[in-house]
Copies of this chain bind each other. A is one copy, B any other.
Amino acid sequence: METISTAKAFGGTQGVYRHKSEACQCDMTFAIFLPPQAEQGPVPVLWYLSGLTCTHQNVMDKGEYRRLAAELGLAIICPDTSPRGQDVPDEKDNWQFGQGAGFYLNATQAPFDKHYQMERYISQELPALIEQNFPVDLTRQSIFGHSMGGHGAITLALKNTGRFKSVSAFAPIAQPSTAGWSKPAFEKYLGNDPAQWRAYDSTLLIEDGHRVPELLIDQGTADGFLDDGLRPWLLEEACKKANIPLTLNMREGYDHSYYFISTFMDDHLRWHAKRLFA
């Protein structure tokens, strides 16, 4: 593992690191913020999964999570959103597929299956690497994310029962296997059989019996992707049927950007901290 940069911030350390990923067969970069409490011993971990087109850096620059994470004593891990590099198959003019659009799934279709193994990377390889290298307590983990990363956070929480103390999302893609901006990616990564897509779809995982204890979602009403791409009402319906307590905050006038995310970042950090320190 190679250190790209470290800087003191809010009494803690914002670091960026690169490593050779076995799961993704390429160099992967991630950011981790360690709060000042990490100097005294292992701290709980909150994973943040980013949306389409993002790297680890967008939330690191614009997410405004460090002040409160430092106060609460949370490590914040921000992985990249896909494998990267010249050898990694891509569609350069398509922001909804390929590099920057890994959808937190394990591709089964050539040529994408060699590198696009983001579920395995995020849920297995990266936690092991981080546990080896940083003072974190992985018995206390939570997860959240934005848009494609909200989809990633909810699906990972649904499929790894008990691993995460809590899960939340900003403007998640509620049903990616049927949304216009994600279905084509599912077809290319996973093939044409819709049955294979259910394992990477929050609402369908809930239909299929997967559960989380509760769920927090914030969604802007002025989000340009609301009706076609995000559709939180599908998740609302699925949670209702499955008796999963859902807090869905529709935020008047907010869009899909980090202006929206940063505004409600504190609420989400407190939600997770309450459950991580319970």
Is residue A10 contacting chain B, with contact meaning CB distance below 8 A?
Answer: yes
A262 in contact (CB, < 8 A): yes
A81 to chain B, nearest CB (A): 19
- List which A230-278 residues lie within 8 A (CB) of chain B: 253-255, 257, 259-260, 262-263, 266
How near does chain B come to A134, taking the closest CB pair, in angstroms? 18
Instruction: Digitize A1-38: 1 where CB-to-B-CB distance is under 8 Å, 0 elsewhere.
Output: 00000011111001000000000000000000000000
A222 at the interface (CB under 8 A from B): yes
With A8-B254, A222-B8, A253-B8 as contacts: A14 and B62 at CB distance below 8 Å: no
The answer on a CB contact under 8 Å between A262 and B8 is: no
Decide: B61 and A262 in contact? CB cutoff 8 A: no
B residues less than 8 Å from A66 (CB atoms): 259, 262-263
Tell me, yes or no, whether A125 is within 8 Å of chain B by CB.
no
User: Do A8 and B62 touch (CB < 8 A)?
Assistant: no
The secondary structure that dominates the A interface is mixed
Distance in Å: Cβ of A111 to nearest Cβ of chain B: 35
Most chain B CB within a 10 A radius of its CB, from A10, A11, A62, A263: A263
Question: Within residues 50 to 94 of chain A, which ones have a CB less than 8 A from any CB in chain B?
Answer: 61-62, 64, 66-67
Sample of 13 more A-B contacts, CB < 8 Å, known A8-B253, A9-B259, A14-B259: A7-B255, A7-B259, A7-B260, A8-B222, A8-B255, A8-B260, A8-B263, A9-B262, A9-B263, A10-B262, A61-B62, A62-B62, A67-B262
Q: List 30 A-B contacts (CB under 8 A).
A: A7-B255, A7-B257, A7-B259, A7-B260, A8-B220, A8-B222, A8-B253, A8-B254, A8-B255, A8-B259, A8-B260, A8-B263, A9-B259, A9-B260, A9-B262, A9-B263, A10-B262, A11-B263, A14-B259, A61-B61, A61-B62, A62-B62, A64-B64, A64-B67, A64-B262, A66-B262, A66-B263, A67-B262, A67-B263, A67-B266
